[in-house]
Amino acid sequence: MSIREALLVLADGTTFEGEAIGADAPGGVATGEVVFNTALTGYQEIITDPSYAGQIITFTYPHIGNYGVTPLDDESRRPFCRGVIIRDLARRRSNWRAEQGLDAFLQAAGVPGIGGIDTRRLTRHIRDLGAMPGAFGTADEATLKAAAAAEPGTDGIDLVRAVTCDSPYEVAFTGPDGRTPKRVVAYDLGIKTTILRHLSGIATVEVVPAGTPASEVLARQPDGVFLSNGPGDPSAVAGLPDTIAGLLGEVPVFGICLGHQLLATALGAETYKLPFGHHGGNHPVRRIETGTVEITSQNHNFAVDDGSLSKSVEVTHRNLNDGVVEGIRCLDVPAFSVQYHPEAGPGPHDAAYLFELFDQLIDDVKGAR
């Protein structure tokens, strides 16, 4: 295979040399906000996570693609990321589940990439200066530099509208025989397949577009409402906090990642952007109630401002690396949320109990009525 020389240029002018992989970028230029992910495996799940809309993913692990790709590991209908950056692309896949190689997958999905990059240097740069816009491709350096400078990043942009479903659909109950399934309405803000797999273990799930009014959801008489993960700036998702406010107190609510941030916003809290976000599968989080530490999977650039939480909200989880709020619980209505990913695709399963807590919360509310 012939090598196509390519460049990565960040908005501050920092330049990296590499080679083009994956799909051809239009005009030889791909742009987005450059972030890094520290997971050692799960590259396919990461690439197909809609939460990466508007971003270029840097994999810190040096060898990517060695076990290939299978449709069984897709987390959404297609990748929404702007591109991928890796050190070494495996030229040969080696896994019995693999149906194609990573490079072929990227080409088929229309995702451009750049390999041969010194990802250690790039990661240190982002860690020191923060996530920033960038451009990569086969175009000349001046063109890429201008494209990087013009890229707006993810601040203030509603990326949810690009990833949410067009119309409602249902995911069948897969729980144990003899159990009467609950009914849960899940807001698709960029929902992952693994989340639906967990939810369908306790309920029949009706997934609805992000713009669905609270009145329409309540008219479906759900036992609970789920607020999914999703991309970008929570403050740019207009209307959703008001929608969530209309659900609170009417039905139990559980949120993950962007759903957590939007629940907090609906409760009057504010959000802010982290310097380089949390992206990886090894973040330690303390569960305050028990003092236990969970190793968690995370993927977000924004967080809830601790000082803006009202007295009716209790912090339930904290990140042990930087103290970020990782979970909240409402004291006056049945609602809770976490910043990290208990479904962990990819990642550890320490926090899968949260789906059981949602199940129990629904039962508690039913029993009290």
Which residues are catalytically annotated?
257, 341, 343
d(CA 51, CA 163): 9
Angle, helices 258-266 vs 240-247, to 10°: value is 70
Q: Is 293 helix (H, G, I), strand (E, B) or coil?
A: strand
d(CA 327, CA 335): 11
Q: In the chain, what is the straight-line distance between the N-terminal and C-terminal CA atoms, in Å?
A: 66
* Angstrom distances, CA of residue 205 to CA of 168, 186, 222, 274: 10, 7, 9, 32
Contacting residues for 326 by C-beta, under 8 A, at least 6 apart: 285, 296, 317, 318, 319, 338, 339, 340
Structure tokens at 363: 């039962």
Structure tokens at 6: 């390519």
